[in-house]
Chain A
């Protein structure tokens, strides 16, 4: 069964360092998303991506964040200069075109980012 994969499963970094979180969406999907969950808090939307551009971003997704689909299979989230408050579980998701509103988002297992 097709699935969304994410690497690494756990990333530890020093404050101020750049990190790249990687996702491989399901191959025929066209919509891509990043969400995050700070420990004990809600899963929060970060950004959606379609046709090689950002469709929507939340207020969390500031200039420190960027997304890219560099090679037609990977979908990456870059944090340029990590802060302590970026520590969270980051989920990638993808969905296929379908009847509007009915398309299911398939989620990856997440990358736990720890900023020290």
Chain B
């Protein structure tokens, strides 16, 4: 069965510093990979997704992620953290291209930005 592992349940970075949130996956077939963000009292919002093609994926709010098949990783980065980035981030995957295929999530990483 497929799985997602997020290293670090809590990450703190200074405002303006690099953000790096780690995600590794396990899948017997090529996965579709996603990062979602959850702000307090809001739903999960899609940040970016990897389906096929270019392995470096750009998303909203300046975030990007790189699919590395050899490392089974899909780490999320942002060059310069902003206070508004403080939220919980979830990595997720799908293993099928069926329209209603479920998402498999990691445990989430809470990002804190230090002023």
User: Which A residues are within 8 Å of any B CB, using their own CB?
Assistant: 3-4, 9, 31, 33, 35, 40-45, 48, 50, 55-56, 58, 91, 93, 95, 97-98, 100-110
Task: Please determine whether A107 and B45 come into contact, CB atoms closer than 8 angstroms.
Answer: yes
Residue of A nearest to B3 (CB): A42
- Which residue of the partner chain A has the closest CB to B40? A109
The SS class assigned to the A binding surface is: loop
Question: Within 8 Å of chain A (Cβ to Cβ): is B43?
Answer: yes
Name the contact of B36 in the complex, choosing from A41, A50, A107 (C-beta under 8 A): A107
| A62: min CB distance to chain B, Å | 17
Mark B residues whose CB is within 8 Å of A.
32, 36, 41-46, 49, 51, 90, 92, 94, 96-108
**Shortest Cβ distance from residue A77 to the other chain B in the assembled complex, whole angstroms:** 15
Number of cross-chain contacts by CB at 8 Å: 68
Residues of B within 8 A of A105 (CB): 46, 103
Closest to B95 in A: A101
Task: Collect the chain B residues with CB atoms within 8 Å of residue A98's CB.
Answer: 99
* CB–CB B44/A31 < 8 A: no
Does A101 contact B43, Cβ atoms closer than 8 Å? no
Other-chain contact of B94, A58, A101, A106, A107 (Cβ < 8 Å): A101
B46 touches A43 (CB 8 A): no
List the A side residues contacting B101 at CB < 8 Å.
Answer: 101
B46 lies within 8 A of A104 (CB):
yes
Tell whether A109 pairs with B100 under 8 Å between CB atoms, given A43-B108, A101-B94, A104-B49. no
